[in-house]
Amino acid sequence: MATPAEPAAHAEGRAEFQARVHAWFAANAPRKGSSADFSAVHIVSARTPEQFHAQEQHAIAVTRDWQRRLFDAGLAGRSWPAECGGHGAPAWQDDVVAEEQARWGVSTKMFAVGLEMVPAVLFGHGTAEQRATFLPPIVRGEHSWCQLLSEPGAGSDLASVQTRATPVEGGWSVTGQKVWTSNAGCSEYALLIARTGRKEDGRAGLSCFAIEMTQPGVEIRPLRQISGGYHFNEVFLDGAFVPEGGLIGGLGDGWAVLRTMLASERAAIGGGTSARSANELVGLAKRLGHADDPGVRDLLAQAAIRERTLDLLRARIAAGHPVPAAGPTTKLLYSEHARLSADAATTILGMATTVVDDATSAPWIERLLFAPGLRLGGGTDEIQRNTIAERGLGLPR
Ligand SMILES: Cc1cc2nc3c(=O)[nH]c(=O)nc-3n(C[C@H](O)[C@H](O)[C@H](O)COP(=O)(O)OP(=O)(O)OC[C@H]3O[C@@H](n4cnc5c(N)ncnc54)[C@H](O)[C@@H]3O)c2cc1C
């Protein structure tokens, strides 16, 4: 189905657009906390590989359906060009939709790689043909993407990637092992970093590819975590094929593509809309008699400072002002905010944090369990600090 025609879309002012978006969500989206709320559907944490598979399939189906509804309503990919399935509208319209979306019991987080990282990479380094091929199925909710970056010997130090792509007739043959891959089992495609040059060439020997996940040379094994649950996968590539058109950027340009990908990932995580918990926590502290506890007050103040700083930074970025090392700075603030809020929630709730079916603690337990992962995913806090120091402040390595 084509996106609805909207002759006034580009002339539409912010308030007018906001009102139109709000009205659509009010008519179509479940409320937060209602029985139909699926805003946490992306937090898949299962006890067995079978449960993990079933939960992932459910999460992706719900997300596909919602993304398709956004697309049909003309609210998906607002700033993407028409030939990529979008509307060519100003970028602030994407922010308006994301802000409204965060208020409702809905989520497109399972599609984060496709909606955020893939366009950043393809607009920065891809060809017009790649954009026209890969982007429309994402915006229509048909294709989900994941990232094949980390390896057992290459996490923070991605220059050590060993997975190798060798030229074969019509494209590339890929062999190696990836780890910590989120959503591998429910994605049609992945952004892959592989070595096409010599190991000694480090960064210069890397290239980026779009690889199909549902092919015989790709084996996905769910990883059992220390908690006993499953969230990630190992991915074994054994002669997996990438056609020539799957090379993104030039041969050996993988490091530049990776920098674009990671910057967009960090900006996407840091620009996330869940860092809004300080006020909620103040209410909870008052209700449960912890408002005078100096430890709680300190944590809440620290969380509120990060929340406010994030808001101000986002406003500067949205207004087009230069913010040095914007992605790493917002990602680091976001991760610190999550840790401080989780610590405050644990102190306020006490033993109730261990009771998963308690209505007061349940919404906090998910955030509590997710906070440590935020310090690592998309690059660890230490790596963000290094990047801020070197690229933001111009300090020596
Ligand atoms: C929720 C989540 C989702 C993820 N999803 C994906 C995914 O979809 N695809 C994917 O490819 N990967 C994914 N990852 C993996 C993630 O990118 C890596 O865990 C991360 O980059 C760190 O790599 P590592 O685990 O190998 O740790 P290491 O790089 O081994 O780091 C170990 C410790 O050493 C520190 N350290 C390392 N180098 C330096 C340095 N130069 N200076 C200071 N300190 C340093 C780190 O900060 C860390 O504390 C995910 C991780 C999480 C937690």
Q: Ligand 1 centroid vs 227 CA: distance in angstroms?
A: 18
According to the model, what pLDDT value does residue 9 have? Answer: 55
What superfamily does domain 274-392 belong to in CATH? Answer: Butyryl-CoA Dehydrogenase, subunit A, domain 3 (1.20.140.10)
CB of 181 within 6 A of ligand 1: the answer is: yes
Domain at 146-253: CATH code: 2.40.110.10
Q: What is the pLDDT of residues 141-162, one digit of tens each?
A: 999 999 999 999 999 999 999 9
- Residue whose CA is at the smallest distance from ligand 1 atom 3: 377
Hey, which of 117, 144, 156 would you mutate to test ligand 1's pocket, going by the most ligand atoms within 8 Å of its Cβ?
156
44 close to ligand 1 (CB < 6 Angstrom):
no
Q: Please give the pLDDT value at position 231.
A: 83
Note the pLDDT tens digit of each residue in 278-298: 888 999 999 999 999 999 999
- Does ligand 1 lie within 6 Å of residue 191's CB atom? no
How much is the pLDDT for 3? 42
Rg (C-alpha) for the chain, rounded Å, is: 21
Marked catalytic residue, from 265, 336, 366, 382: 265
Rounded Cα distance between 251 and 256, Å, is 11
H helix runs in the chain, sequence order? 14-28, 49-72, 92-102, 112, 118-125, 128-139, 254-270, 278-287, 294-318, 326-349, 362-374, 381-387
**Same-fold call for 14-21+36-110+123-142 versus 274-392:** no
101 by DSSP, 3-state: which? Answer: helix
pLDDT digit string (tens) for the chain, length 397 residues? 334 445 455 678 999 999 999 999 999 999 987 889 998 888 777 888 899 999 999 999 999 999 999 999 999 999 999 999 999 999 899 989 998 998 899 999 999 999 999 999 999 999 999 999 999 999 999 999 999 999 999 999 999 999 999 999 999 999 999 999 999 999 999 999 999 999 888 899 999 999 999 999 999 999 987 767 788 899 999 999 999 999 999 999 999 999 999 999 988 887 765 556 788 899 999 999 999 999 999 999 999 999 999 989 988 887 888 888 888 999 999 999 999 998 999 999 888 877 766 777 777 776 787 788 889 988 999 999 999 999 889 999 8
Pocket test for ligand 1, best of 146, 380, 387 (most atoms within 8 A of CB): 380
Collapsing DSSP states into helix, strand and coil, what is residue 74? Answer: coil
- Rounded CA-CA distance 296/302 in Å is 10
Among protein residues, the one whose CA lies closest to atom 2 of ligand 1: 377
Topology of domain 14-21+36-110+123-142 in CATH is Butyryl-Coa Dehydrogenase, subunit A; domain 1 (1.10.540)
Which atom of ligand 1 has the smallest separation from the CA of 380? 47
CA dihedral defined by 299, 380, 56, 3, rounded to 10 degrees?
90
Query: Of ligand 1's atoms, which has the minimum distance to the CA of residue 154?
Result: 26
The pLDDT assigned to 273 comes to 57
- 244 in active site: no
pLDDT score at 10: 66
Residue with the smallest CA separation from ligand 1 atom 29 is: 156
